[in-house]
Amino acid sequence: MDKTRLNFIMGIIYPLETLIANFFVKQVIRYQLGVEILGMQNVYGNLCDVLTFAFAGIGIAMMYRLYQPICAGDTKLVHSLFAFFDKIYKWFVAGSFAAGILLTGVVVWSVNIEGIPR
């Protein structure tokens, strides 16, 4: 099997696997811990989705900027672009981590669920 077919098959299997695993995890949380905790898990999941949304733009920008130098075989420019994107990525990770920590505190103190100590 060539790599293109394998990539296609894995591209289909992975989202299905994630969907099924997510379903079972939510069922276990609902039955073992209650609906309130499942709601908190959704709140944190949405928070993480918002924080990782910025990374999608970085990936597209990287592909766009790297296309021409890779096609031209300009390894020096490719290495310098990778070094630049490495710095940008580290700043995004640090910023997302800091925002996540701050927003987690806000979410914990703003949501009122009985039985969960603050």
Could you read off the pLDDT of 51-110 as tens digits, one per residue?
Answer: 777 666 777 888 888 889 999 999 999 999 999 989 988 888 888 888 888 877 777 676
115: left (phi over 0), alpha (psi -120 to 50) or beta: left
Which residues, 6+ apart, have CB-to-CB distance to 36 below 8 Å?
Answer: 113, 114, 115, 116
What pLDDT, on a 0 to 100 scale, did the predictor assign at position 78? 92
Which residues, 6+ apart, have CB-to-CB distance to 88 below 8 Å?
Answer: 58
What pLDDT, on a 0 to 100 scale, did the predictor assign at position 77? 93
The predicted model gives 33-61 an average pLDDT of 71
Distance CA 26, CA 23 (A): 5
Query: What is residue 35's three-state secondary structure?
Result: helix
The predicted model gives 8-13 an average pLDDT of 85
Cβ pair 96, 54 in contact under 8 A: yes
